[in-house]
Chains A and B, each alone.
Chain A
Amino acid sequence: MTLLSRTARRLAGLLATLFAASFVIFAAVYAAPGDPAVFLAGGRDKLTPERLASVRAQYHLDEPLVVQYGRWLWDCVHLDLGRSFKYSDQVADLVAARFPTTLQLVAYATLLFVVLGVGAGVLAAVKRSTWVDSLVVGGTTLAASVPSFVAAIALVSLFGVQLGWFPVTGSGEGFGGTLRHLTLPALSLALGALAIISRVTRQAMADAAASDHVEAARASGVPERDIIRRHVLRNALGPIVTMCGLVMAGMLAGTVVVETAFGISGIGSLLVGAINTHDFPVAQAVLLLMVTGYIAVTTLVDLVHPLLDPRVKGATT
């Protein structure tokens, strides 16, 4: 199969996934309890049936689900995400203002959990069945069993209040400011992922170390450092990269709690606000963005795979 048709098939698959996800998102928000028309009309107290009907007609809320969905999808394809019911701004502007913060937070957290998680996993695998191994496994288990909001509070009280090293709220100005402001949120976001990644790294390296070619390399007197780096870690990269990708993609949709705890205005807090106020267009746009992000990250991981294991090349369809 040529590269062109492979790419075309992959793209078609992506679009189909996005299409299916968009319908699920639209239908779920539509089916959510509560009537946005009541909110749009300005509350229950001065509500008349005529006013309600006119609001419904104005926002096309009186049409059947499929028609509304079709209208929304058509606008989305033309890069028009609609106007927010609550803020009356373009949804695209709202999201564009909030998204970079979340993206920075997720990128920072990813950097932390990849470096620390893979590092701890490698350490545990190399020092297998020693106290170092037990320490890593025990420490990461503890980190994973603490919910991120609890970790957030602990981090704030220790590093923010007691030691005063980092600011406890807001997202900061400029590169240095952003880095300082996002350190604690990123850390509390990364703690849970750390355990998963270090476990996957440790196990994947243990599996790779059991292969015959590792023993063969050892029997040929290849230095131990090279065996760990070029044979064990190199061959364990497949599961590690896959897991890092999945965890990172999951984080895109999981920043809500941390954003709330640290008072960061990212898309997580935007989504929660939109759902609470029945702001359909905003909720739908944010959810669609999260799904797109997830798909983008997992596709990237898929594309990287043939580089990690040349045997995969051509086998993927």
Chain B
Amino acid sequence: MTLLDIADLTVRIPGAARPVLDTVTLTVRPGEVVGLVGESGSGKSTTAKAAIGLLPPGATATGQVRFAGADVLGLTGERLRAHRAGPVGMVHQDPRAALNPVRRIGDFLTERGATRARAAELLAAVGLSEPERRLRQRPHELSGGMLQRVVIAGALAAEPRLLLADEATSALDVTTQAEILALLRDLRATRDLGLLLITHDLHLAAAYCDRVYVMYAGRVVEERTAKALFATPAHPYTRGLLSCSPTLRTSTVGAPVPLTPIPGRPPSLADAFAGCPFVARCPVAETACETWPPEPKALPDGGTTSCRVLPVEASRT
């Protein structure tokens, strides 16, 4: 049974030329690590927040968000609050901003449903030393990495079944990042936790996740297993992302692989598209792409991609 099931979710906000999310379909199963990758403004965070029924102000949504079979978008009042406080935990991007600067770490954990003793246990579980002392400290007395652990502890306080990690490690240095990721992986194994990992780092997603969704301009453009995504990226945007991140690999002649940035810029909410949103930046675009409404196409290995030119390209690689 799927834990999180988002189907054809379209979210519109007033004043924007195109939907913030356009027919997004995404699933997370228990114990699965799912990556959500894309540039800033591609709709990753909006997708994750939809899982806790948190839409942008004034937004209207069509489609479905189901958690363990139950509808999320229809929840209001006390039942919505219970959904957020219970089965879904969210780890926010900037731990320093996610914690109230004038309150103690202990308050942060207890207001998320932990008892005092359990709060100390949680801090120990996320690898913080002297948990009893930490409970009495305030956010400005802790480092960024420690705060990120506190935020994870807060997300785990209510024993969630799904954890949404929104750029949970992006602000940390690499060693701390590795520790936090290892911690999340352990938690997933011990608690059969579903994990939705939002990141702009495609390599991280490919190395860490079971499956990866690539988003562009509010749409899912590719959904693959991590291994397949990294080996045979199907969508030109995914290939572009991979070739503009630095690697240690060398090309066949021994020279470092040159970095090739994707030309142009990510579309803003003021840009509307008649066809494929990536067409202006796409190296393989054809005239027909400009009017082709993107729809997911199945790939031989079980993934999907929304590219019109793709079957030709895929057979070539």
A→B interface (CB under 8 Å): 211-213, 216-224, 226, 230-231, 234-235, 308-311
Which residues from B are CB-within-8-Å of A220?
84-85, 89-90, 112, 154-155, 158
Q: Is B117 an interface residue (CB 8 A)?
A: no
Complex-state Cα separation, A193 to B275, whole angstroms = 60
B97 to A211, Cβ gap below 8 A? yes
Decide if B103 touches A234 in the complex (CB within 8 Å).
yes
* B contact residues around A216 at 8 Å (CB): 90, 92, 97-99
B90 touches which of A219, A222, A234 (Cβ 8 Å): A219
Q: Mark B255-273, 1 if CB is under 8 A from A, else 0.
A: 0000000000000000000
Q: A219-B49, A220-B85, A221-B84 are in contact. Are A212 and B98 (CB under 8 A)?
A: yes
A310 pairs with B102, CB closer than 8 A? yes
- Among B49, B99, B112, which residue has its beta carbon within 8 angstroms of that of A213? B99
Q: Is there contact, CB below 8 Å, between A213 and B98?
A: yes
Q: Which of A211, A219, A226, A309 is in CB contact (< 8 Å) with B84?
A: A219
Question: What residues of chain B lie closer than 8 Å to A224, measured between beta carbons?
Answer: 81
Q: How far is the CA of A226 from the CA of B103 in the complex (A)?
A: 13
> Does B138 sit at the interface, judged by CB under 8 A?
yes
- Binary contact track B84-104/A, C-beta < 8 Å → 1, others 0: 111001101010011111110
Say yes or no: A221-B49 contact (C-beta < 8 A), given A308-B102, A310-B102: no
A contact residues around B52 at 8 Å (CB): 219
A-B contact pairs, 13 of them (CB 8 A): A212-B94, A216-B97, A217-B100, A219-B92, A220-B85, A221-B84, A221-B158, A226-B111, A230-B107, A230-B111, A234-B103, A310-B140, A311-B101
> How many angstroms between the C-alpha atoms of A235 and B97 in the bound complex?
13
**Is B288 positioned at the interface, with any CB of A under 8 Å from its CB?**
no
Collect the chain B residues with CB atoms within 8 Å of residue A230's CB: 100, 103, 107, 111
Residues of chain B with a CB closer than 8 A to A310's CB: 102, 138, 140
Report B-chain residues with C-beta under 8 Å of the C-beta of A222: 85, 111-112
Are B140 and A311 in contact (CB-based, < 8 A)? yes
Which of A216, A217, A218, A235 is packed against the most chain B CB atoms within 10 Å? A216
Cα–Cα distance between A218 and B107 once the two chains are bound (Å): 15
Q: Which residues of A contact B103 (CB under 8 A)?
A: 230-231, 234
Kindly state whether residue B12 has any CB partner on chain A within 8 Å: no
**A309 is contacted by which of B81, B89, B102, B112 (Cβ under 8 Å)?**
B102
B54 within 8 A of A: yes
Please tell me if B82 contacts chain A, counting CB pairs below 8 Å.
yes
- Minimum CB–CB distance from A237 to chain B (whole Å) comes to 9
> Is B85 a contact partner of A235 (Cβ separation < 8 A)?
no
